[in-house]
Structures are given as C-alpha cells and as structure tokens.
Structure 1
Amino acid sequence: MLHWIQPASPTQNAYVERVNGSFRRELLNGYLFATLQQVREHCRLWQYDYNHLRLHQALHFMTPTEFRQAA
C-alpha cells in the first residue's frame, strides 16, 4: 500500500530522502553525462558502492553486506 508524504514533510520518509540527497550530491551534481549509457553505468556503479561497500550510520557503521552477515 502506498502512503503519500505530505507536502513540506520530507521527514515522514527520512531514509528515502537520505538516499535521494546522496544520489543527487554524489552522482548527478558531480558529472556531466554525454550519453544515456554513461548515466546507466555511473548509476550502476554508484548503487553497487552504496549497497555493498559504503559504511552506513544506521547500520552501526557497517556495510550492508557486513550487517547482513552479522545478523
């Protein structure tokens, strides 16, 4: 079931807002893309880094892979 976020209330879904902000700051604002293929490749690499290699504060500064293995 979808739940809509009220206007001007981004804290209702803080995790999504955090990912969106990181994605914009680190990827979209950092590169000037010439082709759609470049966009896809950079997004794939960024997503892999975010989901497998990066330490996350919400996971007690472990990578998602380490957190999954510890559980």
Structure 2
Amino acid sequence: MVESFNGRLQDKCLNQHLFLSLRQARNLIEAWRHDYNHHRLHTSLDGRTPREYHQRSEEDQTLNRADL
C-alpha cells in the first residue's frame, strides 16, 4: 500500500514539478496530498475518497456499538 502511494506521489507530483525552494516543494506536495485524500476517488475504496471511507468507517463503528 505504501509503495503504491509513493509511486503515485512520484509520478503525479514529484516528476511533474521543478521545485525552486523547500517552501515551494512543501506547498505543492501538501496541495497534492489534500487532493489525493479529499477529492480523488479510489477504486480500492469502492469509488470513495480516503476521507469519505474514513468517515463511513467511523459511522459503521458507532452503529455497531449501538447494536450491542
């Protein structure tokens, strides 16, 4: 899973930009990370974003506790 993420980060962000400063690199990588987690749909998560998947997981856990 980590290797897949690292590959995507490299292909979609690091290889597409020439960073002129550390600050610029941090800003562009943070923007890419935000897009990856909040807007990009993932097939491995049933077409959800990681944030949507996480929220759904928390809701499911709450419902499971209520059913006990």
TM-score interval (norm. to shorter): 0.7 to 0.9
Runs of 4+ residues deviating >6 angstroms: none
Distance of 1:67 and 1:23 partners within structure 2: 20
Per the normalisation by structure 1, the TM-score is 0.72
Q: 1:51: which partner in 2?
A: 37
Distance of 1:66 and 1:18 partners within structure 2: 20
Larger CA Rg, structure 1 vs 2: 2
Counterpart among 22, 25, 33 of residue 36 in structure 1: 22
| Percent identical residues | 42
Aligned counterparts, 1:1-71, within 5 A: 15-71=1-57
Per the normalisation by structure 2, the TM-score is 0.75
Distance of 1:34 and 1:62 partners within structure 2: 34
Gaps of 5+ in 1: 1-14
Distance of 2:28 and 2:35 partners within structure 1: 11
RMSD over aligned Cα, in angstroms?
1.1
Distance of 2:15 and 2:44 partners within structure 1: 24
